[in-house]
């Protein structure tokens, strides 16, 4: 039995299409390379230049996972995480950051982040974490 779009939970694919991963990073090269990598794993990817762009997008309620930078201008990743939770969207978040402090990592994890990876991260580690999130393991 196929469920209608009205019956789906946030992040649940509409059909048998691959999961959708959103990438929020202010660095264009990181967005592009992360998107390519995620697609090479067989998943769909959409990129966003800022937390505000993501939060106002209709895709925000349809993603299966969020790959999120911590330090960005205007709205940092921790604020994006807080706003998602406040809005009732409980999406698995993988933080990916090169400049985050230990305190920022603690705060992200205590607010429910699935993983906190430090750049540069090797492909095998990223794939293991992403598959674990998307396949529920």
Q: Assess if residue 10 is contained within a domain.
A: no
Q: Assess if residue 7 is contained within a domain.
A: no
Predicted local confidence at residue 1, as pLDDT: 32
Q: Assess if residue 53 is contained within a domain.
A: yes
DSSP state for residue 76 in the 8-state scheme? -
Predicted local confidence at residue 136, as pLDDT: 76
CATH of the domain at 37: 3.40.50.2300
Cα radius of gyration (the chain): 14
Q: Assess if residue 11 is contained within a domain.
A: no
Q: Assess if residue 5 is contained within a domain.
A: no
Compute the half-sphere exposure of residue 32: CA atoms within 13 Å on the CB side of its CA: 3
| Alpha-carbon gap, residue 27 to 86, rounded angstroms | 26
Predicted local confidence at residue 99, as pLDDT: 85
In contact, 116 and 108? CB cutoff 8 Å? yes
Q: Assess if residue 64 is contained within a domain.
A: yes
What is the mean pLDDT of each successive set of 10 residues along the chain, which is 137 residues long?
41 73 96 96 97 96 96 96 94 93 96 95 95 84
**Nearest Cα to Cα of residue 66 among 8, 10, 9, 1:** 10
In contact, 120 and 98? CB cutoff 8 Å? yes
| Alpha-carbon gap, residue 89 to 41, rounded angstroms | 25
Q: Assess if residue 51 is contained within a domain.
A: yes
Distances in Å between the Cα of 49 and the Cα atoms of 23, 30, 33, 46, 122 are 8, 10, 14, 10, 23
Residue 117: give the domain boundaries.
Answer: 16-134
Predicted local confidence at residue 5, as pLDDT: 40
Predicted local confidence at residue 15, as pLDDT: 63
Q: Assess if residue 79 is contained within a domain.
A: yes
Structurally, the chain folds into a number of domains equal to: 1
């Amino acid at each position: 039995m196929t469920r209608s779009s009205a019956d789906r939970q946030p992040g649940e694919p509409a059909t048998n299409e691959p999961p959708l991963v959103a990438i929020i990073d202010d660095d264009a090269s990181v967005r592009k390379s992360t998107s390519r990598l995620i697609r090479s794993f067989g998943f769909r990817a959409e990129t966003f230049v800022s937390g505000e762009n993501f939060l106002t997008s209709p895709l925000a309620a349809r993603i299966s996972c969020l790959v999120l930078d911590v330090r960005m201008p205007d709205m940092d990743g921790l604020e994006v995480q807080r706003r998602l939770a406040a809005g009732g969207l409980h999406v698995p978040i993988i933080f990916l950051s090169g400049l985050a402090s230990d305190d920022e990592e603690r705060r992200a994890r205590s607010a429910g982040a699935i993983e906190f990876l430090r750049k540069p991260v090797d492909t095998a580690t990223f794939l293991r974490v992403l598959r674990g999130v998307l396949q529920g393991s």
